[in-house]
Amino acid sequence: MHSLRIINIMKKQFICNVCKKKVHFNLFNNDELGIINKRKYYYIDCIKCGLMQIHPLPNAKELEKYYKYNSKQYSDYKISLINRFLKSSKIGKKIIYSYFTWSYKTRAKLIKQYKSSGSILDVGCAQGNFLNNFSGKYWDKTGIELNPMLVKIAKKNFLDQKIINKFFESYNTKKKYDVVTLWQTFEHMQSPNKILIKLSKIIKHHGFLIIEVPNSKSLNKSLFKNYWQLFQKGEHLFFWSAKSLTTILKLHKFKIRKIYYPIFDTSTSGSLVNFLSNKKIPQLIVLLLGLMSIPLGIVINLFVYDKRDNMQIIAQKL
Ligand SMILES: [Zn+2]
């Protein structure tokens, strides 16, 4: 990603997914090819509500094909030098494992503040680690995952979970859930309104919808611009802010209960590595600076709240 500059000062008109009418957009140039469909894409951002997206969007078929063979973990692993380094040693693997275990547990705790039993569906459940934090005694647990390899692991490890190997877009059910979660999944979906109509149908009256997405108002995005780690090379299709996400959820008759910005999620180090890797600096130095900036990212997060890298929104169906 070399340049992210406005290429059309006149500003083009597109239909915004949130504003639902033709609005003016800033069109940003981007020299990269999307990794989903190997096509060149732009970034556009709505002047009215601030929703940013890639343009043109890949279609549903292209997405289904891509995620069937590339799990989320795989692509994260591919782009991050630091992840690769950590995964090359036993202690590094342990650090990553403990971080994820802790992170899934924290997410589950968040939900248990609102609901202590019932049915839960995790969309994009990967190996089922998140759902494992809910006791089978009190919870009826279902996960949907498109990647067959991850499904195989989930089915083997967690016998009390029902795992569905499907694209969420083609999941049809009469069942209604008390809680539905999308952790870092919603921003990968190409038709947010269609997804929310579907979610609305499968969530019980007064049931909960929890969405975690990258925060388009993050400080790191403003600092690192096109090197921001969470652009994720065209895998992330939409960039939500608290304002645009709140607005679209309200349109679909959800009430916002709470928005959290997790403190330990930081892209400072990943974004710095992206930036330095482009500057012909030896890999070892990039790696060292990257590792050193992990605690720095967390310290920065102490001073910013709604400008952290990720946000979690707890919504309730009216
Ligand atoms: Zn808009």
The C-alpha torsion from 223 through 225 and 229 to 232, rounded to 10°, is: 160
Q: Kind and range of the H or E element at 247?
A: helix 242-251
Sort strands 118-123 and 310-317 into parallel, antiparallel or unpaired: unpaired
Distance 58 CA to ligand 1 centre (A): 20
Distance 227 CA to ligand 1 centre (A): 24
Judged against a pLDDT cut of 90, whether residue 30 lies above it is answered with no
Judged against a pLDDT cut of 80, whether residue 3 lies above it is answered with no
Distance 20 CA to ligand 1 centre (A): 7
CB 261 within 8 A of CB 215: yes
Distance 262 CA to ligand 1 centre (A): 26
pLDDT recorded at residue 85: 81
- Read off the pLDDT of each residue in 294-316 and give the average, rounded to a whole number: 94
Q: 89-118 burial by CB neighbour count: b if 16+ within 10 A, else e?
A: eeeeeeeeeeeeeebbeebbebbeeebeeb
Distance 212 CA to ligand 1 centre (A): 20
DSSP structure string for 22-91: EEEEEEE---PBPTTT--B-EEEEETTT--EEEESPPPHHHHHHHHHHS-HHHHHHHH-HHHHHHHTSHH
Distance 27 CA to ligand 1 centre (A): 14
- Read off the pLDDT of each residue in 19-26 and give the average, rounded to a whole number: 82
Residues whose beta carbons lie less than 5 angstroms from ion ligand 1: 16, 18-19, 46, 48-49, 51
The amino acid at 317 = K
Angle at 99 between CA 98 and CA 103, to 5 degrees: 115
pTM here is 0.91
Question: What is the 3 state secondary structure string of 144-168?
Answer: ECCCHHHHHHHHHHCCCEEEECCCH
Rounded Cα distance between 161 and 140, Å, is 8
Of the pLDDT bands very low, low, confident and very high (cuts 50, 70, 90), residue 8 is low
Q: Which two tokens stand for residue 89?
A: 């040693």
Of the pLDDT bands very low, low, confident and very high (cuts 50, 70, 90), residue 31 is confident
Contacts of 74 (CB under 8 A, 6+ apart): none
Distance 249 CA to ligand 1 centre (A): 13
Distance 57 CA to ligand 1 centre (A): 16
Task: Assign domain 60-317 to its CATH superfamily.
Answer: Vaccinia Virus protein VP39 (3.40.50.150)
120 vs 226 pLDDT, higher one: 120
Distance 97 CA to ligand 1 centre (A): 38
**Range in 1-10, 63-72, 104-113, 223-232 the model is least confident about:** 1-10
Distance 211 CA to ligand 1 centre (A): 19
CB 315 within 8 A of CB 208: yes
Rounded Cα distance between 186 and 181, Å, is 10
Judged against a pLDDT cut of 50, whether residue 75 lies above it is answered with no
Q: Which two tokens stand for residue 318?
A: 């009216």
Distance 15 CA to ligand 1 centre (A): 8
Distance 127 CA to ligand 1 centre (A): 35
Contacts of 112 (CB under 8 A, 6+ apart): none
Longest CA–CA span in the chain (Å) reads: 59
Where in the chain are the domains? 60-317
pLDDT recorded at residue 1: 46
Distance 17 CA to ligand 1 centre (A): 6
Distance 45 CA to ligand 1 centre (A): 8
Judged against a pLDDT cut of 60, whether residue 223 lies above it is answered with yes
Distance 50 CA to ligand 1 centre (A): 6
Rounded Cα distance between 32 and 284, Å, is 25
pLDDT tens readout for residues 134-169: 999 999 999 999 999 999 999 999 999 999 999 999
Distance 101 CA to ligand 1 centre (A): 36
Distance 155 CA to ligand 1 centre (A): 40
